[in-house]
Structure 1
Amino acid sequence: MPSPVPVTRLLPRDIYPSTDIGVCSSPLAARLSSHGSALQVPAPRFHGKVSSRLWSSVIHWKELTSVQPVGSGGFGSVYRAEYLGETVALKKVKKCSKNKLASRQSFWAELNAAHLRHANVVRVIAATAHVPAELGDEGAAGAILMEYAGGRNLRQVIYEGAEVEPLPEDRWLGFARDVARGLQFLHAHGVVHLDVKPANVLVSADDVCKVADFGCSVRLEGDVGPLLSHVGGTYTHRAPELLRGQGATPKADVYSFGISLWQMITRQEPYAGDRQHVMYAVVAHDLRPCVRSHPAFGTEQGRRWRTLLSRCWSGDCRCRPSAQELLPQLEQRKS
């Protein structure tokens, strides 16, 4: 669960919610409540009927059919469903009884990239903070309808198929380029993901990767994001400056990308041991995943990836490449 941050970091200026948002009010609907009218945001239609550049603050629940669970975790639950004739993913964000504000902010953060469209970022179709009681989800902070980007995430491809599913260099390079393109686009539009890891990258049937799960993300109003009072995201992929309590920048995502790239190359877990010990060692002793003993880094090409990794997870964020700078290096082919 991400730590509470100012609402102004989570949504564009034209859709800030009021400070008194009410129990079930949508952050978008609050903007127009004083006008006594419904929010005039056209729902996206499929098959080119209406432009999908805008998303809706209304989910037509009666149009949602064939709902099947896909997975669940600390964030809530994800389902596959049919909506207006298309296959979609439904994500219900869990309401945390101990920190309701953090739950709502996690839901709002999920919408940070809702107004953006890119081939390597999961597209939001509709979202609402009101989930009907008849669905048995009184504990949901909100629900989000997204494009269905595939039934697997990158972590499953890396680990669960290790014995039967090859992951040669050409394939993981394609995955890495997709993720880097998605991050480049997000950063160019002032969104920092802050939880980049294989489990948060969906893989389509055509092996196209899409960055997903924006519950920890922030919107930048300058070069540096807010100071986070608690460590959110996933500790194995968390940049050391964030562990020290410094502000978020796009370079934090590049650090996480580096850890994820190492996982793609080695198909191993980055760290073993106690969580607190790992976090301390990352900050105080520059602990990083091992590249010396793994055979993948022993070749001439492997040494090039080793150099790239060392730059991505540098303890000094100023030494890390930007997502845009990553792409030319990932596009180089083995001679």
Structure 2
Amino acid sequence: MGSVNEFYSVEEFNLECKWLIDPKHLFVGPKIGEGAHAKVYEGKYKNQNVAIKILHKGETQEEIAKREANFSREVAMLSRVQHKNLVKFIGACKEPIMVIVTELLLGGTLRKYLLKMRPRCFDMHVAIGYALDIARGMEFLHSHGIIHRDLKPENLLLTADHKTIKLADFGLAREESLTEMMTAETGTYRWMAPELYSTVTLRQGEKKHYNHKVDSYSFAIVLWELIHNKLPFEGMSNLQAAYAAAFKNTRPSADDLPQDMALIVTSCWKEDPNARPNFTQIIQLLQHYLSTILPTKPVLSLRIFTSDTAVLPPESPGTRALMAKCDDSTETPTTPLENTPSGIFFCFNRCY
């Protein structure tokens, strides 16, 4: 059996000075998310509101090596991708513990926004506008050789005004969720490309033999959900949905979609990955479709709803999709940021 380093290819952590966070300027506030391997807090860095992800080191030598390797890969990826539709990376540090700092988005996750709206649906202009945000972020990731692998509403964050969507958790090792009594893997099955869920592939040890087109499939499911505001594969469990998609070629119904939109959605979730469009093509298809319906609405109305009800107010501050969905259970509040002692990493002993 090989060593831990042979299994996880742990490399020396080298962070450019411009991305190195000084812990003395970090102040930790309320916890807003939690996964099996990390916790996320609201905080401040040099008077800037941020999301602070604190990673657990692990107990065994193997766990420590694996999590350090994942941390290094995550930081390396975040530091090289900057785009208006990706959550902005601010910096990181490895000592005294592993910490990643990103911008704090106040609009919450797309998942929670959709749940608040039900049974209402987005106006088609709104749905396409959001879809273009997602597709542009994905196009940029793919241009840098990064496959998201976990595209779903929980990993899509909204700005405070709900006008822009940004991708989070892109290209990262999946974290097991501690909420909703399911693992992160189970939670992603509903949006998972069929080639990622195949007992034949797993038996042959080829689970990594897939390409960026897995994201096109997941995008199709998200787009369907944006339009219908319903859970895809409704009535099925997560595992049933994944099994039906992978082995029965089952998909959500596109019968009630306009013909051109149905073509976009169904082409993205085709069983053959090579037959799915890439995100450059997806953007072109969405822009063309948007141009065909724009005469009925002014461009500036991109964030209105079909209901007469006014746009919902922004959610409470939080970046729930930076890790898992935030548990709504009652938390013991931490000291407000304005009362945080200056020059220390506050509340590590109590909340980490």
Report if TM-score (shorter chain) is over 0.5: yes
Report matched runs for 1:174-213 at 5 Å: 174-206=129-161, 207-213=163-169
Q: Is the 8 A contact 1:80 1:89 kept in 2?
A: yes
Q: Percent identity?
A: 29
Q: CA deviation at 1:82?
A: 1.2
Q: Which protein, 1 or 2, shows the higher relative CO under an 8 Å CA cutoff with sep ≥ 6? A: 2
Q: Does 1:88 align with 2:50?
A: yes
Aligned to 2:272: 316
Aligned length: 264
Structure 1: runs of 5 or more not aligned: 9-15, 19-26, 29-38, 44-54, 133-141, 219-230
Opposite residue 61 of structure 1, the aligned amino acid is P
CA distance in 2, matches of 1:188, 1:123: 17
1:147 aligns with 2:103: yes
Q: Is the 8 A contact 1:216 1:233 kept in 2?
A: no
**Per-residue CA shift, 1:112-132, capped at 9, x if unaligned?**
232121111112111233345
Gaps of 5+ in 2: 175-184, 199-206, 294-352
Question: What residue number does 2:300 align with?
Answer: none
CA contact (8 A) 2:135 2:283 kept: yes
Matching residue's letter, 1:204:
T
Match of 2:250 in 1: 287
Q: Which moved more, 1:242-251 or 1:152-161?
A: 242-251
Contact 2:28 2:52 in 1 (8 A): no
For the Cα contact (< 8 Å) 2:147–2:171, is it kept in 1?
Answer: no
Inter-CA distance 77–120: structure 2 relative to 1 (3 Å threshold): same
Structure 1 residue aligned with 2:127: 172
Task: Provide the residue aligned with 2:17 in structure 1.
Answer: 42
Going from structure 1 to structure 2, the CA distance change for 1:166 and 1:241 (only over 3 Å counts) comes to: closer
Partner Cα separation in structure 1 for residue 73 and residue 106 of structure 2: 22
Task: Give a deviation string over 1:113-160, Cα, whole Å, max 9, x none.
Answer: 32121111112111233345xxxxxxxxx3210112334111112222
Separation in structure 2 between the aligned mates of residue 105 and residue 278 of structure 1, nearest angstrom:
32
Task: Name which of structure 1's ranges 68-77 and 266-275 shifts more when overlaid on structure 2.
Answer: 68-77
Which 4+ residue blocks in structure 1 deviate beyond 4 angstroms?
A: 4-8, 94-99
The residue that corresponds to 2:83 in the other structure is: 118
RMSD: 2.9
Give SS of 1:191's match: coil
Query: How far is 1:185 from its partner?
Result: 0.6
The answer on whether the counterparts of 1:113 and 1:191 sit within 8 Å (CA) in structure 2 is no
Counterpart-to-counterpart distance in 1, 2:264 and 2:148: 21
> 1:154–1:201: 8 Å Cα contact kept in structure 2?
yes
**Are 1:203 and 1:210, in contact at CA under 8 Å, matched by a contact in 2?**
yes
- Compared with structure 1, are the counterparts of its residues 191 and 5 closer, same or farther at alpha carbon in structure 2 (3 Å cutoff)? farther
Change (3 A) 1:320 1:79: same
Q: 1:96 to 1:288 in 2, by over 3 A?
A: farther
Q: Does the 8 Å contact 2:121/2:228 carry over to 1?
A: no
Relative to structure 2, which stretch is displaced further, 76-85 or 98-107? 98-107
User: What's the offset of the Cα at 1:96?
Assistant: 5.8
- 8 Å contact kept, 1:195–1:233: no
CA deviations 1:180-234 (Å, max 9, x no partner) are: 000101111111111111111111023211111136469xxxxxxxxxxxx7981
Asked whether the 8 Å contact 1:117–1:123 carries over to 2, the reply is: yes
Could you say what secondary structure the match of 2:78 adopts? coil
1:109 Cα deviation after fit: 4.0
2:31 aligns with 69
**Cα distance 1:74–1:158, how it changes in 2: closer, same or farther (>3 A)?**
farther
In 2, are the aligned partners of 1:109 and 1:215 still within 8 Å (CA)? no
How far apart, in 1, do the equivalents of 2:149 and 2:211 lie? 9
Is contact 2:121–2:229 with CA below 8 Å preserved after alignment? no
SS at match of 1:126: strand
Partner of 2:11: 17
Secondary structure at 2:11 match in 1: coil
CA deviation vs aligned residue, 1:235-264 (integer Å, no higher than 9, x gap): 111111122325231111111111111111
User: Quick one: distance in 2 between partners of 1:320 and 1:75?
Assistant: 34
> 1:79: Cα distance to partner?
1.6
Q: What TM-score results when the alignment is normalised by the length of structure 2?
A: 0.67
What is the DSSP-based 3-state SS (H/G/I as helix, E as strand, rest coil) of the residue aligned with 1:192?
A: coil
Q: Distance in 1 between matches of 2:121 and 2:243?
A: 35
Deviations 1:87-126 (A, max 9, x none): 1111123456587255444434433232121111112111
Counterpart CA distance in 2 for 1:283 and 1:131 is 44
The one-letter code of the counterpart of 2:17 is: P
- TM-score, normalised by the number of residues in structure 1: 0.70
One-letter amino acid matched to 2:100: I
